[in-house]
């Protein structure tokens, strides 16, 4: 549950307090990030346009007006994620250390395309639904066992977590597939971009890992790229 709450709570109001800045307005205080900032701005425009087009093609009535933001805290962990503001507008947020950890424009585009795909595929709403469903089932089982209110609440929390975990790997692979297409439409090479996997720890086949093993993700990217006529 913790992760969902975080995703849904991050909103434009945080922007007003100066925690985030749009990609176009970003002037890094760290001089070593100036070149990356320029590349990031170009990638944001191209991937933003490709993501909007894909979103309009794939969805009906969904907000496709992607905003791309930078987390201003220079010490925030390497991370990129997708969120929604209170009006349902999608935002893709990169931390500065995340941008620093990418090696080229293709990797930035690949990560951005993946995050955009999470929105187009409606993953936040689907995760909330899975969490609610898990909480309901576990809560009812606890009630049937005759647990007290605290026991039922605990079971609901666990159920929500299980509900989220059961689909998260599928969601990642779906986002890798559509993200590969968006990266390509934006004019970048997903086969170069996917080298980013080499720089993040491989969760392997652990049951409770939130992400699929790299081998599985690479296979999805290779298949999708092959359909687009791209070869290594
Ligand atoms: Zn993801």
Sorted by where each begins, the domain ranges of the chain are: 2-103, 124-227
Structure confidence by residue, pLDDT tens digits, 202-219: 887 776 667 889 999 999
Distance 24 CA to ligand 1 centre (A): 24
Query: Are 44 and 182 a contacting pair, CB within 8 Å?
Result: no
Tell how far the Cα of 147 is from the centroid of ligand 1, in angstroms: 36
What pLDDT, on a 0 to 100 scale, did the predictor assign at position 12? Answer: 38
Radius of gyration from C-alpha coordinates of the chain: 19
Max CA pair span of the chain: 62
Q: How far is the CA of 177 from the centre of ligand 1 (A)?
A: 11
Cross-strand partners of 70: 21, 94
| Contacts (Cβ under 8 Å, ≥6 apart) of 122 | 59, 62
Q: What is the model's pLDDT at position 50?
A: 98
Identify the pLDDT of residue 107.
97
Question: How are the residues of the chain apportioned to helix, strand and coil, as percentages rounded to the nearest 5?
Answer: 65, 10, 30
CA of 154 to the centre of ligand 1 (A): 27
pLDDT at 14: 42
**Residue 144: alpha-carbon gap to chain centroid:** 37
As a whole number of angstroms, the distance between CA 72 and CA 15 comes to: 10
Distance 186 CA to ligand 1 centre (A): 19
Spatial distance between the Cα atoms of 176 and 216, rounded to a whole number of angstroms: 10
pLDDT at 168: 86
What is d(CA 138, CA 130) in angstroms, rounded to the nearest whole number?
12
Distance in Å, CA 51 to ligand 1 centroid: 15
Per the document, the length of the chain is 232
CA of residue 210 to ligand 1 center, whole Å: 9
Ligand 1 centroid vs 79 CA: distance in angstroms? 10
Q: What is the pTM of this model?
A: 0.86
Q: How far is the CA of 174 from the centre of ligand 1 (A)?
A: 9
d(C-alpha 65, C-alpha 180), whole Å = 20
Q: How far is the centre of ligand 1, averaged over its atoms, from the C-alpha of 118 (Å)?
A: 7
- Are 108 and 99 in contact by the 8 Å Cβ rule? The answer is yes
Q: Structure tokens of 143? A: 């009630």
Q: How many CB atoms lie within 10 A of CB 151?
A: 14
User: Where is 200: in which H helix or E strand?
Assistant: none
CA of 224 to the centre of ligand 1 (A): 17
- Give 13's contacts (C-beta < 8 A, 6+ positions apart): 86
Q: How many angstroms does the Cα of residue 198 sit away from the middle of ligand 1?
A: 16
Q: Which of 176, 173, 52 is nearest to 111 (CA)?
A: 176
Cα–Cα dist 30/16, whole Å: 22
| Residue numbers of the chain with a pLDDT score lower than 50 | 1-18
């Amino acid at each position: 549950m913790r992760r969902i709450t975080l995703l849904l709570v991050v909103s434009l109001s945080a922007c007003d307090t100066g925690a985030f800045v749009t990609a176009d307005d970003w002037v890094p205080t760290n001089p070593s990030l100036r070149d990356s900032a320029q590349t990031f701005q170009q990638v944001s425009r191209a991937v933003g346009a490709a993501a909007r087009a894909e979103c309009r093609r794939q969805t009906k009535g969904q907000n496709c007006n992607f905003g791309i933001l930078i987390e201003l805290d220079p010490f925030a962990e390497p991370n990129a994620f997708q969120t929604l503001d209170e009006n349902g507008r999608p935002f893709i947020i990169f931390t500065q250390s995340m941008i620093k950890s990418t090696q080229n424009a293709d990797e930035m585009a690949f990560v951005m395309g993946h995050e955009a795909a999470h929105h187009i595929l409606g993953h936040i709403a689907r995760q909330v639904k899975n969490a609610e469903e898990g909480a309901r089932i576990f809560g009812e089982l606890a009630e049937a066992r005759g647990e007290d209110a605290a026991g039922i609440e605990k079971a609901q929390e666990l159920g929500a977590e299980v509900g989220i975990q059961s689909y998260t790997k599928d969601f990642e692979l779906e986002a890798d597939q559509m993200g590969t297409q968006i990266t390509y439409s934006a004019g970048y090479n997903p086969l170069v971009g996917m080298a980013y996997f080499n720089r993040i720890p491989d969760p392997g086949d652990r049951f409770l890992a939130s992400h699929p093993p790299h081998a599985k993700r690479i296979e999805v990217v290779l298949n999708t790229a092959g359909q687009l006529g791209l070869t290594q």
